[in-house]
Amino acid sequence: MNESLKLRLIVTGPLPGVWCAVQRGKSELLQPTTSPGELTFNFTVQANLAKDPLALTGEFTQGPPAKRFVYVNSGSYAGQSGTVWSRRAKVPITGISASMAREAIARDGVLQARVRGTGGDGGPFCASVPLSSDWTLTDAV
Protein backbone atom coordinates (compact mmCIF):
# COMPACT_ATOMS: atom_id res chain seq x y z
CA MET A 1 0.00 0.00 0.00
CA ASN A 2 1.59 3.28 -1.13
CA GLU A 3 1.17 6.39 0.98
CA SER A 4 2.44 9.92 0.34
CA LEU A 5 5.35 10.77 2.62
CA LYS A 6 6.48 14.38 2.95
CA LEU A 7 10.24 14.99 3.05
CA ARG A 8 12.16 18.17 3.74
CA LEU A 9 15.83 18.54 2.87
CA ILE A 10 17.69 21.44 4.44
CA VAL A 11 20.94 22.40 2.74
CA THR A 12 23.21 24.23 5.18
CA GLY A 13 26.04 26.49 4.06
CA PRO A 14 25.34 26.51 0.32
CA LEU A 15 27.75 28.42 -1.89
CA PRO A 16 26.35 32.00 -2.06
CA GLY A 17 25.05 33.02 -5.46
CA VAL A 18 24.88 29.48 -6.83
CA TRP A 19 21.43 28.12 -7.64
CA CYS A 20 20.36 24.74 -6.28
CA ALA A 21 17.32 22.64 -7.21
CA VAL A 22 16.01 19.17 -6.42
CA GLN A 23 15.71 17.07 -9.57
CA ARG A 24 12.34 15.53 -10.47
CA GLY A 25 12.52 12.54 -12.81
CA LYS A 26 15.23 12.57 -15.46
CA SER A 27 15.47 16.30 -16.11
CA GLU A 28 12.76 18.40 -14.43
CA LEU A 29 13.59 20.54 -11.39
CA LEU A 30 11.85 21.98 -8.38
CA GLN A 31 12.07 25.77 -8.36
CA PRO A 32 15.79 26.69 -8.18
CA THR A 33 16.80 28.80 -5.20
CA THR A 34 19.87 30.40 -3.67
CA SER A 35 20.64 31.74 -0.22
CA PRO A 36 23.68 32.67 1.86
CA GLY A 37 22.24 30.70 4.79
CA GLU A 38 20.07 27.63 4.31
CA LEU A 39 18.02 26.22 1.46
CA THR A 40 14.87 24.24 2.16
CA PHE A 41 13.37 21.79 -0.30
CA ASN A 42 9.99 20.14 0.34
CA PHE A 43 8.87 17.22 -1.80
CA THR A 44 6.80 14.05 -1.56
CA VAL A 45 7.73 10.43 -2.16
CA GLN A 46 5.58 7.32 -2.17
CA ALA A 47 6.16 4.92 0.74
CA ASN A 48 5.15 1.28 0.46
CA LEU A 49 4.53 0.60 4.15
CA ALA A 50 3.92 -3.11 3.52
CA LYS A 51 7.55 -3.69 2.53
CA ASP A 52 10.39 -4.28 4.95
CA PRO A 53 12.68 -2.50 4.49
CA LEU A 54 10.52 0.44 3.50
CA ALA A 55 10.23 0.97 -0.27
CA LEU A 56 10.37 4.61 -1.41
CA THR A 57 9.38 5.50 -4.96
CA GLY A 58 8.09 8.45 -6.92
CA GLU A 59 9.17 11.21 -9.24
CA PHE A 60 11.98 12.48 -6.96
CA THR A 61 13.57 9.14 -6.06
CA GLN A 62 16.63 7.94 -7.92
CA GLY A 63 18.78 4.82 -7.76
CA PRO A 64 18.19 1.18 -6.88
CA PRO A 65 15.59 0.33 -4.18
CA ALA A 66 18.13 -0.43 -1.44
CA LYS A 67 20.12 2.77 -2.07
CA ARG A 68 17.51 5.41 -2.89
CA PHE A 69 18.60 9.04 -3.10
CA VAL A 70 17.52 12.40 -4.46
CA TYR A 71 19.63 14.61 -6.69
CA VAL A 72 20.30 18.22 -5.74
CA ASN A 73 21.63 20.01 -8.80
CA SER A 74 23.66 23.20 -8.63
CA GLY A 75 24.88 25.87 -11.02
CA SER A 76 24.10 25.24 -14.68
CA TYR A 77 22.52 21.87 -13.76
CA ALA A 78 19.97 23.90 -11.73
CA GLY A 79 19.25 26.17 -14.71
CA GLN A 80 21.62 29.01 -13.79
CA SER A 81 23.35 30.71 -16.70
CA GLY A 82 26.71 32.46 -16.52
CA THR A 83 28.14 30.26 -13.75
CA VAL A 84 31.26 28.11 -13.69
CA TRP A 85 29.51 25.48 -11.55
CA SER A 86 27.80 22.38 -12.94
CA ARG A 87 27.32 19.86 -10.17
CA ARG A 88 24.90 17.29 -8.84
CA ALA A 89 24.81 15.82 -5.34
CA LYS A 90 23.33 12.44 -4.45
CA VAL A 91 21.57 12.83 -1.09
CA PRO A 92 20.54 9.53 0.54
CA ILE A 93 16.95 8.95 1.56
CA THR A 94 17.84 5.65 3.16
CA GLY A 95 17.62 5.41 6.93
CA ILE A 96 13.88 6.08 6.97
CA SER A 97 12.18 3.19 8.77
CA ALA A 98 8.64 1.99 8.06
CA SER A 99 7.62 2.94 11.62
CA MET A 100 9.03 6.45 11.16
CA ALA A 101 7.15 6.81 7.86
CA ARG A 102 3.90 5.53 9.42
CA GLU A 103 4.16 8.03 12.26
CA ALA A 104 4.91 10.92 9.89
CA ILE A 105 1.94 10.02 7.69
CA ALA A 106 -0.41 9.56 10.68
CA ARG A 107 0.59 12.94 12.15
CA ASP A 108 0.63 14.67 8.73
CA GLY A 109 4.22 15.51 9.59
CA VAL A 110 7.41 15.86 7.61
CA LEU A 111 10.60 13.85 7.81
CA GLN A 112 13.53 16.21 7.53
CA ALA A 113 17.29 15.90 7.31
CA ARG A 114 20.20 18.26 6.77
CA VAL A 115 23.11 18.12 4.39
CA ARG A 116 26.13 20.40 4.00
CA GLY A 117 25.94 22.38 0.75
CA THR A 118 29.63 23.10 0.23
CA GLY A 119 32.13 20.47 -0.87
CA GLY A 120 35.65 19.93 0.39
CA ASP A 121 37.02 21.94 -2.53
CA GLY A 122 34.99 25.01 -1.57
CA GLY A 123 32.52 24.57 -4.44
CA PRO A 124 28.94 23.31 -4.32
CA PHE A 125 28.47 19.84 -2.84
CA CYS A 126 28.57 16.99 -5.35
CA ALA A 127 28.80 13.23 -5.80
CA SER A 128 27.47 11.07 -2.94
CA VAL A 129 27.18 13.19 0.18
CA PRO A 130 26.42 12.11 3.75
CA LEU A 131 23.59 13.60 5.76
CA SER A 132 24.76 15.95 8.50
CA SER A 133 21.66 15.01 10.54
CA ASP A 134 19.53 11.88 10.37
CA TRP A 135 15.91 11.93 9.27
CA THR A 136 13.67 13.21 12.05
CA LEU A 137 9.95 13.85 12.33
CA THR A 138 8.79 17.45 12.51
CA ASP A 139 5.51 19.28 12.07
CA ALA A 140 4.54 20.36 8.59
CA VAL A 141 4.89 24.11 8.19
Q: How many residues does the chain have?
A: 141
Task: Kindly give, in sequence order, each residue whose CB lies less than 8 Å from that of residue 95, ignoring residues fewer than 6 positions away.
Answer: 131, 134, 135
What's the pLDDT tens digit per position in 2-49?
899 999 999 999 999 999 999 999 999 999 999 889 999 999 999 998
| Residue pair 87/76 in contact by the 8 Å Cβ criterion | no
The pTM is what?
0.94
By the 10 Å C-beta count (0-12 exposed, 13-18 middle, 19+ buried), 49 is classed as: middle
Please give the pLDDT value at position 36: 84
Q: Which long-range contacts (CB under 8 A, 24 or more apart) does 54-59 make?
A: 54/96, 54/97, 54/98, 54/101, 56/5, 56/93, 56/96, 57/2, 59/24, 59/25, 59/28
pLDDT digits (tens, 9 = 90+) for 33-91: 998 899 999 999 999 988 878 899 999 999 998 899 999 999 999 999 999 999 999 99
